[in-house]
Chains A and B, each alone.
Chain A
Amino acid sequence: MDELKLLTYLVVGATFVLYIGIAVWARASTTGEFYIAGKGVHPIANGMATGADWMSAASFISMAGLIAFLGYGGSVYLMGWTGGYVLLAMLLAPYLRKYGKFTVPEFIGDRYYSQAARTVAVICLIFISFTYVAGQMRGVGIVFSRFLEVDLLTGLIIGMSVVFVYAVLGGMKGITYTQVAQYCVLISAYIIPAVFISFQITGNPIPQLGLGGTVVEPVAEGSTYLFAQLNAIVTDLGFNEYTLGGKSTIDIFAITAALMVGTAGLPHVIVRFFTVPSVKDARSSAGWALLFIALLYTVAPAVGAMARYNLTTTAWPGGVATADGAMSIEDRPEWMQRWEATGLIKYEDKNNDGRIQYYNDASDAGKALAAQHGWQGNELTVDRDILVLANPEIAGLPNWVIALVAAGGIAAALSTAAGLLLVISSSISHDLMKSMLTPDMSEKAELMTGRIAAAVAILIAGYLGYNPPGFVAQVVAFAFGLAASSLFPAIIMGIFSKTVNREGAIAGMLAGLIFTMGYILYFKGIFITPMAENIPANWLFGISPEGIGFVGMLLNFAIAFGVSKVTAPPPVRIQELIESIRSPRGAGAATHH
């Protein structure tokens, strides 16, 4: 066994022992502890746990790679996935904490005095959460099979067993403290390589500052700022300028809005704010969560831009876009050869000159270059998802850093999967079994049902991870769109309006849900063949399926208010419930008159 493999086993194994140890220490014995950790989690710990819960395999592994290739267009993820926390802190968290129950559907069912509303909410929740969890299990399996060199099925079974132990035993309490540990692992795994790389390229160890700084060894003429250099070399090769957008302004606007609102409507994020001791702590907890998330999200643009810079200059050691500047095949770096084995990086010497020309052969500038130098097309393809994982190797960092990155990727995927599984199991045991099917169930029986539901959910998730429906990447848009257009407006109106009633809320949720689902199916055809080509000319108002949840949300609001106007207003006890939710103290002054 080589040193890297041994180190990876050691580091990943040590983190597993840590997670399971924490879960055994924090075993849940009541439903309160199982669903919401007994409401006793300190805001800082809760903030870290929320961070780990939120930052999934996608944030850890894929986001920086997306930014590297999209440049400015990648901003939608950065703003969308952080701005939602402002909405959470100000519009949702304090009120839902004051309301003080276990699940999101429970709030919707009580506020709109309707089992039907609660059932609609449960359906939305289960769909959103399963979509997400399937992607996480896939991520766990891939990291396992790549770094530990076991096959995908073995990797998945190991990952599922670990999640099973701490989610099913520990419930929310076990998950929360495990996630604190997972946050620490994933954030160090992300930042340590970024610091080294920033220092190598710009001489500044702080990635956020290095990104705005100058490069140590300029490769292009003119300004030595990193962005100026990067813009110069990528445009020389026929790519879009890095700091300009590729998408239309309205689409960037709508996608950002859908991601922000979707974030604030995701049940596994909202439920986090049920676990803190007080309303005051719910407010600050959202701030701590965003602080811990921002540590990764402000570093990601640096990781992306520097990876793009590194990749481009590595491919053109003799001068970017020059006749003999391209890397020769026998001189390719060792990391590139290692990753070729995975098939995620490929070269093909189309013009048989012994060199690998990397450029954009679809653009006019690229075609002109090819005509001038006799190139026969782009010869290097790089999968976006490998950038973060390959980063430490590209920068020539020691093996323990590479092992840490593997452990970080696994931590990111496991923590998110566990949070989602718990939301699914509490919805099934609490919102479906306890409230609708067997209302006289004892607490012990409910706890057992919750554990069984979590176990079944893990098996289904594992199955989805092993046999991913061909559309895992596409359904991400689905999950955000549904959260934005169904759950978020229903909760907001439940708190901020006293006039929206049962009929309005149900009509609004269904309208938002059906519209958003219909639009995505129309263009992406998840279970059916797409009915129209997914191109800007066909889109409603020029908004892509990724951003349509924003329109669905507006529709939900409009229909809910409209229907509420022409139907009976909510009963007096609901008005009192709203008054009580709005005031932090106990039963609240307004309800005692």
Chain B
Amino acid sequence: MLDKTAAAYWRANLKTVAICMVIWFVVSYGFGILLADALNAFSLGGYPLGFWFAQQGSIYVFLILIAFYAWRMNAIDREFDVHEE
């Protein structure tokens, strides 16, 4: 029974991490590098869009991702009753 809870907790954890990692990859390696040339056809103010992702946008998204992860994991900890006292 306890082992099952631990396994379910770990799966919920891995799912959260996987979602965050996909976004992490897409904004930096995707938008900032692989698709940068295509995105540069659009612009954000004076920034070509691909350039913006590479030098500004990806950093902002990284910050949001960590904040989301910390918030979500704390909720999951409580849900599975494994949070610290």
Contact = CB atoms under 8 A, between A and B. Distances in A.
Contacts of A85: 62, 66
Given A256-B28, A279-B84, A290 B63 contact: yes
B51 A72 contact: yes
B34 A249 contact: yes
A283 B73 CA distance: 9
A562 interface: no
Given A227-B48, A280-B83, A589-B82, A83 B70 contact: no
Contacts of A226: 46
Contacts of A213: 45-46
Interface centre among B13, B47, B62, B63 (most CB of A within 10 A): B62
B83 A584 contact: yes
B59 A79 contact: yes
Contacts of A279: 84
A287 B56 contact: no
Given A243-B48, A245-B36, A249-B34, A90 B20 contact: yes
Interface residues of A, number: 57
Contacts of B58: 78-79, 82-83
Interface footprint category on B: 35 or more
B84 A278 contact: yes
A590 B59 contact: no
B2 A284 contact: no
A219 B65 CA distance: 40
A283 B45 contact: no
Interface string A391-405: 000000000000000
Given A301-B55, A593-B3, A243 B40 contact: yes
* Secondary structure class of chain A's binding surface, majority of residues: helix
A588 B47 CA distance: 49
A579 interface: yes
A252 interface: yes
Contacts of B13: 582
Nearest to A230: B46
Nearest to B64: A287
Contacts of B21: 86, 90
A211 interface: yes
Interface centre among A74, A86, A227, A588 (most CB of B within 10 A): A86
A291 interface: yes
A211 B44 CA distance: 11
A257 to B, nearest CB: 8
A571 interface: no
Contacts of B66: 85-86, 89-90, 283, 286-287, 290
Given A243-B40, A286-B66, A301-B55, A256 B29 contact: yes
A151 to B, nearest CB: 38
A74 B51 CA distance: 11
Nearest to A253: B33
A589 B2 contact: yes
A284 B28 CA distance: 22
A78 B54 contact: yes
A86 B20 contact: yes
B9 to A, nearest CB: 7
A584 B65 CA distance: 20
A320 B36 CA distance: 29
Interface of B: 2-3, 5-6, 9-10, 13, 17, 20-21, 24, 28-29, 32-34, 36, 40, 44-48, 51-52, 54-56, 58-60, 62-63, 65-67, 69-70, 73-74, 77, 82-85
5 contacts: A286-B66, A582-B10, A584-B77, A584-B82, A586-B85
Given A79-B32, A226-B46, A593-B2, 17 more contacts: A72-B51, A75-B54, A75-B55, A86-B21, A89-B66, A211-B46, A212-B44, A253-B34, A256-B29, A290-B63, A290-B66, A294-B59, A298-B56, A583-B6, A584-B83, A585-B83, A586-B85
Q: Which 4 A-B pairs have the closest CB atoms?
A: A225-B46, A212-B45, A75-B54, A590-B6
